[in-house]
């Protein structure tokens, strides 16, 4: 028998040790049954099925114990499962230690280990093996490396009580065939475990990304009212530091601070509702909401020398929407327009806000600026997460705006304005008797 490790040469087996035809047929039935079971076993049941197969195998063969171990890519052997007859303990699970390391090296090199008597054990492990196995009255051992795809991935081991039995080549080949069915199931389990681990990691990364986007959105949205609070607070302090403080201006600055604080609170409520899918929709007049938002941003607009042209239709524009979220969108679009005109010095910084009813039973709000406009190549990307043309921008504002508008059944788009700037269009379904 090629590739067999022995301390000393085993005596040639006698014809009497050859299996009978009935034994061979019974063994083939066992192998077919085990192969069928492993072909259909689920990945999370592979180890349990291997343990059951080991018990059937050692009982069928009249052995004392059967053990199955798996190799790492580096050749480290770990016992996966072991089944033993009454009166004999199973092999401890996990990484092997002590004298069994010699077996690990031999098996990973692809050599089958077969011992019939004490004289067969090699010198490196003879004393340790004798101390361990003599007290258990174990002598014969057969350990077979199992290969899948040309690589040793596992091993199967059988031991018997003192009997001086032989290990015929046909017997070893049949045991190996059964063992390799188990090894193939083990490889399938490894592959499915690796796939689940990859899917779990992808889910974890997706969760972290979503959390990062939410954090970025909160930072982006809260930054605007916070800046306004700081600006108005500084203005109020300057008025107070004058030899004759202007109480009227100080009061106005403080009122703006209170408004911006309330606006920040509403933004937080809106963002939480958006991510919890728990928006608080109610009937509101879009024209009125636009006016209120412009009032909130009035100090910033005046400070940036922006001329506001308001062209709202006289009749109310009723929509069913989350007030905080919709105001967040309008404030974002106005602030973006204002920032887009910061570098304009050769013409008026004009912000034009219009309202109208659309032809598709909706309401239309447009926010147009006279800034530099958006490059044609960037028009398709401005709503993408983390895309921004601002040096200090996060690229989340327009993404969030579109998400809010779409959650209300509308759409948000942008195009070039003429002769300068950009125009953003918000279309929302008009409130009807059915939606109220």
- Which ranges of 78-167 would DSSP assign to H, the alpha helix? 100-108, 123-134
Q: Can you give the pLDDT of all 436 residues of the chain as single tens digits?
A: 444 444 433 333 333 455 566 766 777 787 788 777 887 777 778 888 888 888 888 888 778 889 999 998 888 999 988 988 887 888 889 998 877 788 888 889 888 888 776 667 776 666 666 666 655 656 677 889 998 888 898 999 888 776 556 677 777 888 888 888 888 888 888 888 777 777 767 666 655 655 565 566 667 667 778 888 888 888 888 888 888 888 888 888 888 888 888 877 776 766 666 555 555 678 899 999 999 888 878 878 888 889 999 999 988 889 988 888 888 889 889 988 988 898 888 889 999 999 998 767 689 999 999 988 877 666 666 776 544 555 444 445 677 788 888 888 898 988 888 888 999 999 999 887 655 5
Could you give the 3-state DSSP secondary structure of residue 342?
A: coil
Strand (E) or helix (H) holding 355:
strand 350-357
Long-range contacts of 289-296 (CB under 8 A, 24+ apart): 289/323, 289/326, 289/327, 289/330, 290/330, 290/353, 290/355, 290/365, 292/327, 293/327, 293/330, 293/331, 293/334, 294/334, 294/353, 295/259, 296/259, 296/260, 296/263, 296/331
Angle at 238 between CA 233 and CA 241, to 5 degrees: 125
- Cβ contact 107:113 at 8 Å: yes
In contact, 70 and 186? CB cutoff 8 Å: yes
* Both structure tokens of 402: 């579109």
- CA atoms lying within 13 Å on the CB side of residue 371: 24
CATH of domain 4-195: 3.30.450.40
280-436: which CATH architecture?
Answer: 2-Layer Sandwich (3.30)
Domain with CATH 3.30.565.10 in the chain: 280-436
pTM for this model (two decimals): 0.45
Q: Give the CA radius of gyration of the chain.
A: 40
DSSP H or E segment with residue 293: helix 286-296
Whose CA is closest to 226, among 266, 265, 269, 261?
Answer: 261
Which ranges in the chain are annotated with CATH 3.30.450.40?
4-195
Measured between alpha carbons, how far is residue 223 from residues 188, 216, 285, 354, 392 in Å?
52, 10, 27, 26, 12
């Amino acid at each position: 028998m090629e590739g067999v490790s022995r301390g000393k040469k085993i005596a040639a087996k006698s014809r009497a040790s050859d299996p009978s035809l009935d034994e061979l047929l019974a063994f083939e039935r066992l192998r077919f049954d085990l192969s069928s079971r492993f072909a259909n076993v689920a990945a999370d049941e592979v180890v349990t099925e291997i343990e059951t197969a080991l018990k059937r195998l050692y009982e069928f063969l009249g052995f004392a114990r059967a053990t199955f171990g798996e190799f790492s890519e580096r050749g480290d052997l770990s016992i996966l499962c072991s089944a033993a007859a009454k009166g004999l303990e199973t092999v401890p699970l996990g990484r092997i230690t002590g004298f069994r390391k010699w077996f690990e090296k031999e098996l990973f090199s692809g050599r089958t280990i077969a011992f019939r008597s004490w004289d067969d054990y090699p010198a490196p492990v003879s004393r340790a093996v004798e101390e361990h196995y003599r007290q258990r009255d174990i002598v014969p051992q057969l350990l077979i490396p199992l290969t899948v795809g040309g690589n040793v991935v596992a091993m199967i081991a059988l031991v018997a009580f003192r009997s001086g039995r032989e290990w015929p080549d046909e017997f070893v080949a049949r045991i190996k065939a059964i063992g390799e069915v188990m090894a193939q199931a083990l490889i399938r389990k490894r592959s499915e475990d690796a796939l689940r681990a990859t899917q779990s990691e992808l889910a974890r990364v997706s969760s972290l990304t979503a959390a990062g986007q939410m954090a970025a959105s909160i930072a982006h949205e809260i930054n605007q009212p916070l800046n306004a609070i700081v600006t108005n607070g500084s203005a109020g302090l300057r008025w107070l530091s004058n030899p004759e403080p202007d109480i009227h201006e100080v009061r106005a600055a403080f009122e703006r601070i209170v408004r911006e604080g309330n606006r920040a609170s509403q933004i937080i409520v809106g963002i939480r509702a958006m991510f919890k899918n728990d928006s608080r929709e109610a009937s509101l007049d879009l024209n009125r909401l636009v006016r209120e938002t412009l009032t909130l941003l009035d100090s910033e607009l005046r400070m940036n020398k922006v001329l506001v042209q308001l062209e709202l239709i006289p009749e109310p524009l009723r929509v069913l929407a989350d007030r905080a979220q919709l105001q967040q969108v309008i404030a974002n679009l106005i602030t973006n327009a204002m920032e887009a005109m910061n570098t304009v010095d050769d013409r008026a910084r004009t912000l034009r806000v219009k309202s109208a009813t659309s032809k598709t039973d909706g309401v239309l709000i447009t926010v147009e600026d006279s800034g530099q406009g958006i490059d044609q190549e960037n028009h398709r990307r401005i709503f993408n997460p983390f895309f921004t043309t601002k040096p200090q921008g996060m690229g989340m504002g327009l993404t969030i705006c579109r998400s809010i508008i779409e959650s209300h059944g509308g759409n948000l788009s942008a195009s070039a304005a003429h002769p300068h700037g950009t125009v953003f269009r918000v279309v929302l379904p008009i409130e009807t008797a059915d939606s109220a």
